[in-house]
């Protein structure tokens, strides 16, 4: 399928680019230069357009570098979720028995300032070589317990459509792989990449799911909504995952708007991640107690379709666990309703 998209505009990749675009001042650019020597910078034209509009602060906080990123806090780790300790071959992370992560590419359309893989993606990011990809596929082929393959990275939708199609064809040919999931920011940060050729590449004869990462309702621009519709209308189901971020979405109204934006675009909210212990990200992290109170505030007032699971990825590679509020009090047999009332369950029990 021929891609007839218009020529692509340039992504900002330095403090000088951001200054030229009028997104930062000269003094701020000098500080951003320091951050750029440690962590990669990329802000797509779509995000730059959004920054130039009204509700820019929660978007700028996600994508414009801050000197606070150079301030390490106790407990922060270069590999906060333990990818390395669960990587038997390059490109594979096998933490859970029935699924693996496959990281075919180490670049992203944008670099989120809170990224848990911020030390592994960006500057010298690349694709797996043909030999490395074959070794990763051989690892999957040899393990019949692997039911699902999750493409992540980097952002797998940065692959050219032809390369995506070839990869999915190889995965679909493995009998025990029944589900392929893509974790991506592309539909909201670089929606032009969701081209007819890319949509066609995702149809491989197996169940393909796209998990979209968005953190604020304003990310769902008209172009982003059209990109999501192109996927869903072609039979590709979508999930939503977000990160709870201080100053971005850590209040009930903002979180509600985000979850409703997902559902209005036919995307089921899946996970709300507690901020990982990545270096220089303390200014983004809430406490778990704050996150639990936010999740509690959604229950009852906001549609059940809009309720994600609040998740903590235990530092060191010990897996994800839900850490949402507990409505049942086992110590006294009472259950709390969404308005704070307490009730005996079962009714009449002593």
Active site residues: 95-96, 99, 108, 112, 115, 117, 276, 313, 320
Residue 78 CB coordination number (10 Å): 12
Q: What angle do CA 120, 182, 266 make, to 5 degrees?
A: 130
Closest listed residue to residue 171, CA positions, set 121, 209, 120? 209
Question: What is the Cβ-side half-sphere exposure of residue 57, based on CA atoms within 13 angstroms?
Answer: 6
User: Can you tell me the distance from the alpha carbon of 124 to that of 51, in angstroms, rounded to the nearest whole number?
Assistant: 27
Residue with tokens 């993606």: 121
* Calculated CA dihedral for residues 133, 137, 138, 141, nearest 10 degrees: 180
Task: List alpha helices for 122-251, DSSP H.
Answer: 130-141, 161-172, 186-189, 196-201, 222-232
206: region left, alpha or beta (phi > 0 left; psi from -120 to 50 alpha):
beta
Determine how β-strand 320-322 pairs with β-strand 309-313: antiparallel
- The answer to whether the Cα torsion of 256, 262, 266, 268 is positive or negative is negative
Closest listed residue to residue 207, CA positions, set 233, 183, 172, 161? 172
User: Can you tell me the distance from the alpha carbon of 219 to that of 56, in angstroms, rounded to the nearest whole number?
Assistant: 10
Q: What residues contact 130, with CB distance under 8 A and at least 6 apart?
A: none
Element (H, E) at 30: helix 26-36
């Amino acid at each position: 399928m021929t891609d007839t998209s218009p020529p692509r505009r340039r992504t900002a990749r330095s403090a000088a680019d951001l200054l030229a675009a009028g997104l930062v001042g000269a003094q701020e650019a000098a500080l951003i230069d320091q951050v750029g020597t440690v962590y990669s910078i990329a802000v797509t034209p779509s995000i730059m357009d959004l920054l130039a509009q009204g509700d820019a602060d929660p978007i700028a906080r996600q994508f414009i570098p801050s000197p606070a990123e150079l301030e390490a806090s106790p407990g922060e780790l270069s590999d906060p979720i333990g990818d390395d300790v669960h990587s038997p071959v390059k490109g594979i992370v096998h933490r859970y028995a029935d699924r693996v992560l496959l990281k075919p590419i180490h670049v992203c359309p944008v670099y989120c300032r809170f990224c848990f893989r911020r030390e592994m993606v960006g500057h010298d990011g690349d694709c797996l070589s043909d030999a490395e990809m074959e070794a990763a596929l051989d690892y999957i082929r040899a393990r019949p317990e692997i039911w699902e393959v999750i493409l992540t990275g980097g952002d797998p939708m940065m692959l050219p459509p032809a390369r995506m199609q070839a990869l999915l064809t190889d995965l679909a040919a493995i009998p025990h792989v029944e589900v392929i999931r893509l974790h991506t920011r592309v539909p909201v940060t670089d929606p032009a990449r969701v081209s007819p050729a890319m949509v066609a590449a995702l149809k491989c004869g197996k169940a393909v799911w796209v998990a979209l990462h968005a953190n604020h309702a304003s990310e769902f621009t008209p172009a982003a909504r059209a990109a999501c519709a192109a996927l869903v209308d072609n039979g590709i189901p979508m999930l939503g995952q977000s990160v709870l971020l201080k100053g971005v979405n850590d209040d009930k109204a903002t979180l509600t708007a985000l979850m409703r934006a997902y559902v209005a675009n036919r995307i089921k909210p899946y996970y709300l991640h507690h901020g990982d212990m990545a270096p220089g990200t303390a200014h983004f992290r809430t406490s778990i107690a704050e996150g639990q109170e936010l999740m509690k505030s959604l229950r009852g007032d906001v549609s059940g379709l809009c309720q994600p699971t609040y998740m903590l990825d235990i530092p060191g590679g010990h897996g994800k666990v839900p850490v949402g509020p507990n409505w049942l009090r086992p110590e006294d047999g009472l259950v709390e309703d969404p308005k704070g009332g307490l009730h005996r369950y079962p009714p009449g029990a002593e």
